[in-house]
Structures are given as C-alpha cells and as structure tokens.
Amino acid sequence: MPAKPFNRGVVTLRSMPFWCVANPVGDPFGGAVLPRISSVETAKILAWAGKEGLIESTAFHDDDLVPFDPANPEDDLDPNSATSKTLAEIKAILDDAGLVVNTATCSLHTMPIFRAGGLTNADPKIREIARKKVQRTLRIGAKFGAKWYTYWVARDGFEVPPAVDWKNNYKWLAEGLNNVYDYIKSQNLNSYLGATIEPKPNEPRGQMYLPTSGHAVGFIYGILQHPEFFKVNPELLQHESMALMNAVMTLGYLCSMDKLAFLHFGSQIKAQFDNDYPPLVGPEGLKETAQMFWVLKQMGWKGVVEYDCHMLRAEADPEVAELRRKQFIRNCTDALSITLELADRLDGLKTDGLTFSQVDLAATMAMCKIDPAAVEQVSLKK
Ligand code: XUL
Ligand code: MN
C-alpha cells in the first residue's frame, strides 16, 4: 500500500527518521527521560504516522535498526542472522504503511572506537572498521530502496589543531567517500540517486572538518572523484545557525550550485548548541523558516523535507511516552504545513520602489495576513 506522495508546494515527501522518534531525550546534564524503544517498535510508530497521513518517508542510521559487531561486519549477508531477521521485520512494517526510505546513514559517532573520528581517524585499523561499517550500511539501505546515502561529519573533527595530520585528514575523508561511490557502483546498489554530505560546525567535536555547506561544496568539487554523485543536505535552521549563517542564503547558494539534495528541518536559537527543536518551536526563526520555503520556490527546487529534531526534553513524559512520540510527529508535520502556508503568502510580494526596510515590513504584513488598511502605514509616508 504505497503512501500517496505529499506534493505540496516544493515538498515532494515528508520524512521522519527513526532516530528522532526513538530519541529518549537525554542531554549532557541529565539522562534519558523516555524509555528506550526497539527498532521494531519505532517502525510501528512510523507506520502509524504513515497511515495517519503525517509522513510518507523515513530514514535511519544502520544502528538505529540493528547493532554492529566489528568482528562480524557482514552479518547482514547471512539470511539466517538475527540482523537479517530484524531488517526483514522492519521492512514488512514500513512496506505495509507505504513508507519509503529517503536516506541511510552510517553511525560513526556512537561507538567509543570512533571517538577520535570515523573516516578521518588517524589509525588505519579504525578507518578500515569505518569502511566496512559504511559498506554494510549501504547494503542495508539498498534492501530498503534508500534514495540517498548520507555522510554526516560527526566525529571527523578536532579540538587540538597541532595534533591533526593536515596533510592527510581531507585525503582520508575523500577516500572514505570515494569508497561510497565505488561500492554502490560495484555492487549495483541501484536504488541510490547519490550520496550527501551533511555539514555541521561543531558538536560533538570542538570543530568539525566540514563546518558549512560552502565547505561541503568546495570539498565535493575540490577532491572527490565523482563530484556529480554528491550533494549536500543542510540542516536548517540548526547547523548553519549554530555558525550564525542565514538559512535562506544557504538554500539559495546550494540551489545555484545544483547541490541541494534534501533538507534536514528543525529550529534553533542562533549561536547555541544544536537545539534540534521541532520546526517553528522556540523563541526565534519564524521569518527565516518561512523565507526558506519561499526561496526554494523562487529557485524552482522540489524535494524531500526530512525532520531532524526531537521533542523538548521538558515536555517528554515517560508516563505517556508513546503519546508524546506521536504528538511530536504531528507537531513537526503541522509546523511544515504552517510554514508552507506562510511561505505562500510571500508570493507576489510587491517590492518596487520600496526600501529594504519597507520590503521587510511588507513581507511581514503579507506573511501575517495583516490588512495594510488595518495599520497606519506611516512607513510609507515621507
Ligand atoms: C546531528 C545530525 C545527525 C545527522 C544524521 O546533528 O544532524 O542526526 O542528521 O546522522
Ligand atoms: Mn541532521
């Protein structure tokens, strides 16, 4: 029973990842609030959301679905392994709800062996484990028909610049991503349209090697063997706002470079740690969020919007954990609908003869559906 594509405005599909729904919402100052749920239980909540018409798509890290044992990196190739059985069970649940998989990503951040980096780890033995884990993720993604493979920069970064092997770190990163291309092609993993880089300025490392979308595009063209295969999935507002970038510019830039694959979507207080608030939740970012979807329409982009956020820890109630998880999905989807409506209201905005400030006020009135007659238009008086 394939879900109907969403196809509203610039958004073709709405995607809710496994890790966002399963998130037990701990933070560095306090532990998990919600009970942990299995990958099969998470799939069932996602299937519920699909059947409710809230989402059409999902995404996962390899170990959101099944654990990884470095001593047995090909367990997924054995049809009788616990891994294969769990994957088959999850696939049946997603298929029944008509959910498609937007992206598969390899977690190179959770296991302590990757604490000093995954693809850029200075230890060739760790890089080899990372390579095998990426290949297994690519195979798992292909089983689910994943459209993209995502590399999030994760622990590939540093705290101590003189301790970094600058002559090699970007070469190792390129080797890791060239391997993604080579493996997809050599194994005929044909569901993949391409691979994406998700930049982030810091967290979990003090500094990360691909901090912004600009760094990611430069890296793709500067060093990768198949630049046409790689695009970017920025996380907006969060990741670029952490570095005081403007999301509208990021999207205008990525569309101009033809490098926007899909969006990770949520909300953020500028210059803070990665808040991962649900879209439109939090004290700031309303204009920027609406303008993001306005600029995508201007640029003629259409594609998948994937939420990448979690419920507020303060509202996570373990007594009603499943209800909160479901409300969280509804909130994200409501926020996207509200945003699309706000962005539509910016269509046809007349800017001729107005100063920049007047354009901003006119846009705000249009977005908030304020009748110009209802305000004394002193700004337009000389
Ligand atoms: C981290 C982040 C990740 C990636 C997938 O900030 O956004 O969840 O999206 O690994
Ligand atoms: Mn993300």
Among 203, 291, 194, smallest CA distance to 252 is for 291
**242 with 274: CB under 8 angstroms?**
yes
Atom 5, ligand 1: which residue's CA is nearest?
152
Report d(CA 39, CA 46) in Å as an integer: 10
Atom 10, ligand 1: which residue's CA is nearest?
152
Q: How far is CA 332 from the centre of its chain?
A: 13
The one-letter amino acid code at 183 reads Y
From the CA of 276, how far away is ligand 1's center (Å)?
A: 10
pLDDT tens sequence for the chain (382 residues) = 667 889 999 999 999 999 999 999 999 999 999 999 999 999 999 999 999 999 999 999 999 999 999 999 999 999 999 999 999 999 999 999 999 999 999 999 999 999 999 999 999 999 999 999 999 999 999 999 999 999 999 999 999 999 999 999 999 999 999 999 999 999 999 999 999 999 999 999 999 999 999 999 999 999 999 999 999 999 999 999 999 999 999 999 999 999 999 999 999 999 999 999 999 999 999 999 999 999 999 999 999 999 999 999 999 999 999 999 999 999 999 999 999 999 999 999 999 999 999 999 999 999 999 998 888 776 666 5
**What residue ranges in 203-360 does DSSP mark as E strands?**
207-208, 230-232, 235-236, 263-265, 303-307
Q: How far apart are the first and last CA of the chain?
A: 61
Report d(CA 132, CA 113) in Å as an integer: 14
Atom of ligand 1 nearest to the CA of 239: 6
From the CA of 377, how far away is ligand 1's center (Å)?
A: 45
Tokens representing residue 198 in the block: 């998700």
Tokens representing residue 348 in the block: 């046809």
Burial of 337 from C-beta contacts in 10 A (0-12 / 13-18 / 19+):
middle
Tokens representing residue 143 in the block: 């089983």
The full set of domains in the chain, from first to last, is 11-347 (3.20.20.150), 350-382 (no CATH)
From the CA of 104, how far away is ligand 1's center (Å)?
A: 11
Is the beta carbon of 308 within 6 A of some atom in ligand 1? yes
Among 196, 200, 205, which residue has the most ligand 1 atoms within 8 Å of its CB, making it the best to mutate? 200
Whole-angstrom CA distances from 284 to 151, 288, 293 are: 28, 9, 16
Report d(CA 88, CA 83) in Å as an integer: 9
**Whole-number pLDDT of residue 5:** 87
Annotated catalytic residues are: 61, 64
Report d(CA 285, CA 259) in Å as an integer: 24
Phi and psi (nearest 5°) for 60?
-155, 155
**Whole-number pLDDT of residue 379:** 67
Tokens representing residue 186 in the block: 């050599």
Among 20, 148, 203, 235, which residue has the most ligand 1 atoms within 8 Å of its CB, making it the best to mutate? 235
Is the beta carbon of 264 within 6 A of some atom in ligand 1? yes
pLDDT by residue (tens digit) across 48-107? Answer: 999 999 999 999 999 999 999 999 999 999 999 999 999 999 999 999 999 999 999 999
Is the beta carbon of 235 within 6 A of some atom in ligand 1? yes
**237 with 247: CB under 8 angstroms?**
yes
Is the beta carbon of 105 within 6 A of some atom in ligand 1? yes
Q: Which ligand is nearest to the CA of 152?
A: 1
**Whole-number pLDDT of residue 139:** 98
- The torsion of the CA quartet 128, 133, 139, 140, rounded to 10 degrees, works out to 180
Is the beta carbon of 276 within 6 A of some atom in ligand 1? no
Is the beta carbon of 155 within 6 A of some atom in ligand 1? no
Give the burial string for 45-80 (b: 16+ CB within 10 Å, else e): bbbbbbeeebbbbbbbbbbbbbebeeeebebbeeee
In the block, tokens 């059409």 appear at 56
Atom of ligand 1 nearest to the CA of 61: 10
Phi and psi (nearest 5°) for 197?
-110, 130
From the CA of 348, how far away is ligand 2's center (Å)?
A: 32
**DSSP-assigned states of every residue in 193-228:** -EEEEE--SSSSSSEESS-SHHHHHHHHHHH-S-GG
**Model pTM greater than 0.85?**
yes
**What residue ranges in 213-298 does DSSP mark as E strands?**
230-232, 235-236, 263-265
Tokens representing residue 109 in the block: 């951040």
pLDDT by residue (tens digit) across 90-141? Answer: 999 999 999 999 999 999 999 999 999 999 999 999 999 999 999 999 999 9
Report d(CA 277, CA 266) in Å as an integer: 6
Atom of ligand 1 nearest to the CA of 203: 6
Tokens representing residue 225 in the block: 């063997």
**278 with 249: CB under 8 angstroms?**
no
The one-letter amino acid code at 140 reads I
Is the beta carbon of 200 within 6 A of some atom in ligand 1? yes
Report d(CA 32, CA 22) in Å as an integer: 11
**Whole-number pLDDT of residue 1:** 62
Is the beta carbon of 198 within 6 A of some atom in ligand 1? yes
Among 48, 106, 98, 62, smallest CA distance to 328 is for 48
From the CA of 60, how far away is ligand 2's center (Å)?
A: 11
